[in-house]
Amino acid sequence: MRKAVLAASVALVATPAWAADQTSQVSGQSQQPVLLATAAAAAQSAQPLTEAERQQAIQDLQDLRARMTALEQRLGITPPPVQYTPEAPKRAKDHNLELYGFVQLDAIQDFKRVNPNWDATLRPSRIPTEEGIFGGNGQSIFSVRQSRLGAKATGILAGKPYEAKFEFDLYGTGVDEGQTTFRVRHMYAKWGQFLIGQTNTLFMDGDIFPNVVDYWGPTGMVFVRTPQIRWTFLDSGGWQAAVALEHPSDDIDTGNLRLIDEDIASSIQANEELPDLTAAVRYGGDWGHVRLAGILRKVGFDTKGTEGNEPEGHETGWGLNLTSAFKLGLATPRLGIVYGRGIATYLNDGGMDLAPSINVVPQPGGLVLVPEATAVKLLGVSAYVDLQWSKQLSSAIGYSFTKVDNTNFQDGSAFHKGEYASANLLYAPADNVLAGLELLWGKRTDNDGEDGSDTRAQMTFKWSFTSSNIWDWFE
């Protein structure tokens, strides 16, 4: 086949040159028929070219090329330059789809005891301050609730980057607390500057969450995922700034209102009339980052089944959250301080947004005690440092607390302060494998000064996986 193509090419190229020059080049008249005959013979032969035939064909092509060049020069024809088109660089894929997650087993030895619905993690608010209320001390817990599965799509749509994520773990909360069951973590779509769906509140800085293996983590940091609409209006030069409207959720403590009217106290509920407004600005680089976030919210209440749903009312909640992380060689401090009123819903653990207080009001004939709703003050602090000893070995050590400024009409058993401390040593023999030991301590203090503490050890084994880009499978 190659011989036939070569012969045909020689014939096609040779014919015009021979025809154009046959009247002026006698030698050409004698050579072209020979060349065409050779090409025809080669095309008809089924045998491979011998070395002599191959060398002759090469010589014929070179002679023909020289004759064509000479003829073009005599006719004043300038041949067009050879056009070279470099291979276009491969275009980055516009769409990527990744399936990811991990399987994790936590083997916990609790030396005391917490609320059994929360025994797979250490939350100070779930530590009893009454000895023996949950039974005797010492429990062994094995849990796979941290195991996670997610899907993430990224790419370019209409010239702007997009990201969509759906992720869940197995740590039941709310009506499912204590269960190993489906729990949505993230479910959102982001395109350009806009995000809609459920993800970390804008009031939160996820980058100060330390490298701990306990599920819940430090008590005194802002940590909640909530449905929201977010606009990131600045993202350049290391600066980021955004605002969001977020789903409101109010935690109301009725305190000692039952001493005045037990029916009303049991019928008071949250009245969430407006979304929460959050905003944040961040500056960062290779050295780390500093971030300031704020929140403004309407914390309301009303009463079920009463005329006009009274008593009812609302208070203004607000808060500021200053956070930072710095890379200092092998150490990365992660620091945060949050303060405000009516923001306990946004804290990782402990506190209440609204609680009753008593005011003494002068009235004809004496003094009258008048209850009113108060947005409760709260302070949260988290101070941790991550240590990267080597590529395989790392640690995290630190302390955190949440402290509530209780009102004067809350019950003595109301949460006042939660403390949390931990230290670990983690080993990653491969990029997707992790094992480690973590020691934890927690303490709860009530409004009346009663307290309880817990100490535990947790062994964790984790295997992560990812599909990379699924669309690559179909290429």
Q: What is the pLDDT of residues 257-292, one digit of tens each?
A: 988 889 989 999 999 999 999 999 999 999 999 999
pLDDT band at 15 (very low <50, low <70, confident <90, very high): very low
What number is the average pLDDT over the span 243-256? 96
Q: pLDDT at residue 37 above 70?
A: no
The pLDDT score that the predictor gives to residue 121 is 97
| Share of residues in the chain with pLDDT > 90 (%) | 73
For the segment 279-325, what is each residue's pLDDT rounded down to a tens digit? Answer: 999 999 999 999 999 999 999 999 999 999 999 999 999 999 999 99
| Average confidence (pLDDT) over 221-250 | 97
Could you tell me which of 338, 340, 341, 368 has the C-alpha nearest to residue 354?
341
DSSP annotation of 389 reads: -
CA distance 111 to 107: 13
Cis amide bond preceding 218, omega within 30: no
Q: Roughly how many angstroms between the first and final C-alpha of the chain, as a whole number? A: 32
Rounded Cα distance, 230 and 239, in Å: 17
Domain parsing of the chain, residue ranges: 2-75, 95-474
Q: Mutual orientation of helices 26-44 and 51-75 as an angle, nearest 10°?
A: 140
Between 35 and 254, where is the model more confident? 254
Asked if 103 and 144 count as a contact pair (C-beta separation under 8 A), the reply is: yes
- pLDDT score recorded for residue 23: 40
Would you say 405 and 397 are in contact if contact means Cβ atoms under 8 Å apart? no
pLDDT > 80? residue 195: yes
Give the separation between CA 428 and CA 423, rounded to whole angstroms: 17
Query: Which of 22-26, 245-249, 435-439 is predicted with the least confidence, judged by mean pLDDT?
Result: 22-26
pLDDT at 83: 58
**Could you tell me which of 433, 352, 389, 454 has the C-alpha nearest to residue 118?**
454
| Residues 410-434, mean pLDDT to the nearest whole number | 97
Position 356 scores a pLDDT of 95
pLDDT score of 26: 38
Distance separating alpha carbons of residues 465 and 102, to the nearest angstrom: 6
pLDDT at 60 over 80: yes
* Cα 247 from Cα 196, distance rounded (Å): 12
Residue at 201: amino acid letter? T
In this predicted structure, the answer to whether residue 97 has a pLDDT above a threshold of 70 is yes
Residue 174 vs residue 365, higher pLDDT: 174
Contact 404, 352 (CB under 8 A): yes
Query: Could you count the other beta carbons within 10 Å of the beta carbon of residue 380?
Result: 31
Residue at token pair 């802002």: 222
Rounded to an integer, the average pLDDT of 340-353 is: 97
pTM of the model: 0.79
The pLDDT confidence band at residue 61, using thresholds 50, 70 and 90, is confident
> Across-strand partners of 341?
318, 377
The one-letter code for the residue type at 239 is: W
How far is residue 19's CA from residue 156's CA, in Å, rounded to a whole number?
58
What interhelical angle do 26-44 and 2-21 show, nearest 10? 160
Residue indicated by tokens 């004043």: 76
Higher pLDDT, 7 or 442: 442
What is the rounded average pLDDT for all residues in the chain?
88
| CA–CA dist 66, 436 (Å, integer) | 78
Cα–Cα distance for residue pair 326/285, rounded to 1 Å:
10
Pairing between β-strand 451-466 and β-strand 95-110 as defined by DSSP bridges: antiparallel
User: Is the CB of residue 420 less than 8 Å from the CB of residue 438?
Assistant: no
For residues 364-386, give the mean pLDDT. Answer: 90
18 pLDDT above the threshold of 60: no
- Give the Cα-Cα-Cα angle 314, 317, 322 (nearest 5 degrees): 175
Q: Is the pLDDT of residue 203 over 70?
A: yes
Determine which of 74-88, 170-184, 186-200, 359-373 has the lowest per-residue pLDDT on average.
74-88
Q: Is the pLDDT of residue 12 over 50?
A: no
pLDDT for the residue 166: 98
Q: What is the C-alpha separation between 350 and 447, in angstroms, rounded?
A: 12
Q: Which span out of 157-161, 265-269, 454-458 was modeled with the highest average pLDDT? A: 454-458
Please state, as a whole number, how many other Cβ atoms lie within 10 Å of the Cβ of residue 300.
22
Q: Is the pLDDT of residue 238 over 60?
A: yes
The pLDDT of residue 94 is 82
What token pair was written down for 308?
A: 């006009």
Q: pLDDT: is 44 or 456 the higher one?
A: 456
pLDDT at 173: 93
Asked if residue 465 lies in contact with residue 101, where contact means CB atoms within 8 angstroms, the answer is: yes
Characterise 365 by phi-psi region: left (phi > 0), alpha (psi -120 to 50), beta (else): left
| Spatial distance between the Cα atoms of 471 and 214, rounded to a whole number of angstroms | 35
Average pLDDT over residues 201-230: 98
322 CB-contact burial (10 Å; exposed 0-12 / middle 13-18 / buried 19+): middle
* Architecture in CATH for domain 95-474: Beta Barrel (2.40)
The answer to whether 99 and 469 are in contact (CB under 8 A) is: no
Please give the full DSSP string across 68-84, using - where no structure is assigned: HHHHHHHHT--PPPPP-
As a three-state string, the secondary structure of 347-382 is ECCCCCCEEEEEEEEEECCEEEEEEEEEECEEEEEE
The pLDDT, as a whole number, for residue 31 is: 46
Angle at the Cα of 226 from the Cα atoms of 224 and 227, rounded to 5 degrees: 170
329: Cβ contacts below 8 Å, ≥ 6 apart: none
Please state whether beta strands 366-375 and 95-110 pair in parallel, antiparallel, or not at all (unpaired): unpaired
- pLDDT-derived band at 65 (thresholds 50, 70, 90) equals confident
Residue 251 has pLDDT above 80, yes or no: yes
Residue 62 pLDDT greater than 50, yes or no: yes
C-beta of residue 371 within 8 angstroms of C-beta of residue 336: no
